[in-house]
Structures are given as C-alpha cells and as structure tokens.
C-alpha cells in the first residue's frame, strides 16, 4: 500500500527531529568516513531499513570528532513512511548499537533545520584531577594527576573569551569554514572534589576548537602558561604556539539550543550526568 501511494504521486514527506546520545569511544566521529564506523552511518542505515523508499540523509546540529561523545545531539531527517513521529525513537533503538540511544523523536516543520535553526551549541569537558586513576571514569574524563589544577586561574581565562571574537588560534587545520569568528555566549567551570567540569556555549564552534582550548586551560591550571600569554596567543591568533590538545574522551556535546523548547527537558536538557566524588563520606554500614 505504501509503495503504491508513492507510485500514484501522493506525497507523504515529513521531517523528524531526534534527540540522541552516543558513546563516541568506538566511532570515527559523527560524519560518515571512507574508513571506520560513524554515528551518522549507523543511524542512516537503521532509518533506511524502516523507510526504504527514498535515500536517507541525517543532518546534525554539530559534528563530533573521533572519540567524542554526545548527550543531547539533535538531528533531523526526512521520511515518507507511515511510522508516527513519536514512534521513531523506539523503532530505531531496536536497530542501533547499544552505544547510540535515541532519547526522543518528534515531528518538525519542513523548514526547520537541526543545524541552521540552532542558536547555540554547548560542550562539556570533564577532567579527573586525582592522584589515582578510576576505571569507571576513564572513558569519559581526562585524568590529570601530576598537579592539582588551579581552577580559579582557569575560570578567569575562560571568562575573558566571552563575546564575538576571532578564535583562529583554536582551529585545527582542515577546516572548510570561510572565517574563524564566532560568539562564545556562556562559560562555566565547576570543581567537585577531584572532578572539574568545563562548559562552553557558543553560536558555533571551529574545527577542534574545544580540545585545543582545554589544552591551554590545563596548562594555565598547572602554572605552565600565564594568563597574559594565553590572552596574547588567542587574541593575536598565534596558532603555531598552541600545541597542547586535550584528548577526545573527556569531551561531550551537551546539547543544541533553539528558540523554542522542542524536546522534553529529560530528553534534551538534563541528559548528561554530573559526576560527583567525595573523599569525606563515611563508609557504608554493612548492617
């Protein structure tokens, strides 16, 4: 019946928006690559199994590199089948690897775009600043153990970045952007025990921007780089002086924001757990 309606020229085209999470450890990144498994490729394959009548292309709010995670990634795709919008999440989860989970699926207008309609993207980088490693945090944090990082200096460096600036100093080679200007809208640094979480929200991010920036912040926190030299490097676009890049495992795409609250807060806003460790809690009473 579906096939015959297509032959008859009846248009069933609709746009679906998805909020999703993925563990980027085993993927070559969001975007399809010639070699390696991508998140985009896995999702497109699963959609094609459910809607085989047209080529499927999934558009993301922001691309993530190899090994980078996502908690509130937003994507859209166009389909022509009869699956209700709110059923796509469960239908896809049954066909996706366990390292990708669709949190929610909704119908969107055909002129809505996961990337171009977004007014901000937000990333979080998590650092585990303890002497000893923790197996259960190793895939999600950068373990920095040689020095207790000075988070106050790091926070001060972060705050100086807010606004519309040329951040070419934090752009890796290979970018196809026409320019390196963007607006950092909000920053936040929280230390809880041995964990430091750094949030950066911007209208858009340059290729490799967050990891290069975090590498500089850690050097500041280790007292290896002064605030003055850091400011000089990025304001004068001294990319050649920025060699430290944080590893991908501590980075997570938290969410993309839009003018309206599109998804439920549990599926979109609050989908990344805050890790809290305490070294002063008394041992649990076995009785």
Distance, CA of 20 to CA of 71 (rounded, Å): 7
pLDDT at res. 1: 37
Highest CATH level, class, for 12-108: alpha beta
pLDDT at res. 177: 82
Active site residues: 65
Q: Where are the domains of the chain?
A: 12-108, 120-258
- Is 12-108's fold the same as 120-258's? yes
Mark the ranges of the chain whose per-residue pLDDT is less than 70. Answer: 1-11, 274-287
Nearest CA to 6 out of 52, 59, 63 is that of: 52
Pick the CATH number of 120-258 from 3.30.70.660, 3.50.50.100, 3.40.50.150, 3.40.228.10: 3.30.70.660
pLDDT tens digits along 230-274: 999 999 999 999 988 999 999 999 999 999 999 998 888 777 776
pLDDT tens digits along 117-154: 999 999 999 999 999 999 999 999 999 999 999 999 99
């Amino acid at each position: 019946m579906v096939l015959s309606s297509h032959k008859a020229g009846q248009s069933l085209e609709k746009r679906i928006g998805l909020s999703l999470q993925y563990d980027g450890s085993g993927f070559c990144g969001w975007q399809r690559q010639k070699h390696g498994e991508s998140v985009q490729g896995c999702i497109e394959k699963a959609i094609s199994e459910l809607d085989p009548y047209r080529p499927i292309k999934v558009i993301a709010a922001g691309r993530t590199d190899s090994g980078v995670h996502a908690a509130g990634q937003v994507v859209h795709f166009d389909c022509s089948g009869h699956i209700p919008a709110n059923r796509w999440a469960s239908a896809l989860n049954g066909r996706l690897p366990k390292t990708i989970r669709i949190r929610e699926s909704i119908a969107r207008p055909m002129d809505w775009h996961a990337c171009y309609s977004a007014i901000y993207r937000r990333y979080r980088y998590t650092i585990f600043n303890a002497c000893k490693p923790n197996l259960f945090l190793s895939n999600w944090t950068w373990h920095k153990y040689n020095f207790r990082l000075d988070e106050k200096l790091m926070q001060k460096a972060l705050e100086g970045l807010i606004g519309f600036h040329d951040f070419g100093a934090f752009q890796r080679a290979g970018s196809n952007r026409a320019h390196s200007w963007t607006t950092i809208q909000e920053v936040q640094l929280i230390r809880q025990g041995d964990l430091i979480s750094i949030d950066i929200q911007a209208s858009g991010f340059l290729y490799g921007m967050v990891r290069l920036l975090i590498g500089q912040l850690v050097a500041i926190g280790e007292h290896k780089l002064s605030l003055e030299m850091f400011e000089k490097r990025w304001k004068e676009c001294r990319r050649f002086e920025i060699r430290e890049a944080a590893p991908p495992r501590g980075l997570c795409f938290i969410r993309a924001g839009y003018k309206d609250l599109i998804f439920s807060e549990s599926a979109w806003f609050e989908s990344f757990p805050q890790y809290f460790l305490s070294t002063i809690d008394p041992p649990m009473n076995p009785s």
